[in-house]
């Protein structure tokens, strides 16, 4: 390739990151535990995307490629950590009256999902953001279908409980 072709590829990728970065970062925040991890996750996914840039047939497929790279990277991280994490059925009490709480619905949903344990958060994102079936999630994570169903059930119950607490506090 000539220098011009390289520069064009770099510019095209740079333009893509500039225009799609904020939306992709919101997805990364839904997958990761904190903003720093979300930025690292997005950066890792963008590096993978850059190396595959010429192989992505359609410009419309780029968002999907980056999202899939983020999910796969997060799943790999989750698998590495699951050997040292000991899950519990007890959910610790967490403050919901955070002084930085914002009324924006998207921010509220993001905060609620961020409070979920990592495994529940990953499954919620795969199911409701990536629109994967429970069977696809089970296959992707290497767990049984029953594990996916019970984990999603607990996650949704926790999200409902958080929403009920927020409504109760808002009305008192």
The domains located in the chain, with CATH, are 1-86 (1.10.1740.10), 88-172 (1.10.10.10)
Top-confidence residue, 9 or 62: 62
Output the pLDDT for position 147: 93
List CB contacts of 145: < 8 A, sequence separation 6 or more.
Answer: 134, 135, 138
**What does the pLDDT average to over 62-82?**
81
> CA-to-CA distance for 30 and 28, rounded, in angstroms?
5
Structure tokens given for 165: 């607490």
Which of 36-45, 55-64, 125-134, 147-156 bottoms out in mean pLDDT, i.e. has the lowest? Answer: 55-64
| Residue 100 predicted with pLDDT over 60 | no
- Who wins on pLDDT, 95 or 79? 79
Q: Which pLDDT band, with edges at 50, 70 and 90, does 91 fall under?
A: low
As a whole-number percent, the residues of the chain with pLDDT over 70 amount to 74
Span 153-167, average pLDDT: 80
**Please, are residues 41 and 32 in contact by the beta-carbon 8 Å criterion?**
yes
Query: Can you give the pLDDT at residue 102?
Result: 44
pTM, rounded to two decimals: 0.48
Tell me the C-alpha distance between 25 and 158, whole Å.
24
Give 149's pLDDT tier (boundaries 50, 70, 90): very high
Q: What is the pLDDT of residue 98?
A: 47
Q: Is 142 exposed, middle or buried (0-12, 13-18, 19+ CB in 10 A)?
A: exposed
């Amino acid at each position: 390739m000539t220098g011009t072709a390289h520069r064009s590829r770099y510019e095209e990728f740079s333009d893509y990151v500039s225009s799609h970065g904020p939306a992709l970062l919101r997805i990364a925040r839904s997958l990761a535990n904190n903003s720093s991890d979300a930025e690292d996750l997005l950066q890792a996914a963008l590096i993978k995307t850059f190396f595959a840039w010429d192989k992505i047939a359609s410009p419309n497929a780029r968002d999907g490629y980056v999202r899939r790279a983020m999910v796969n990277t997060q799943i790999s991280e989750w698998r590495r950590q699951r050997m040292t994490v000991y899950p519990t059925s007890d959910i610790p009490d967490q403050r919901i009256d955070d002084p930085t709480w914002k009324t924006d619905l998207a921010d509220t949903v993001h905060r609620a999902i961020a409070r979920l344990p990592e495994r529940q958060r990953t499954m919620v994102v795969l199911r409701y953001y990536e629109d994967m079936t429970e069977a696809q999630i089970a296959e992707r994570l290497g767990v049984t279908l029953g594990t996916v169903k019970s984990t999603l059930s607990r996650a949704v119950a926790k999200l409902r409980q958080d929403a009920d607490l927020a409504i109760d506090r808002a009305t008192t």
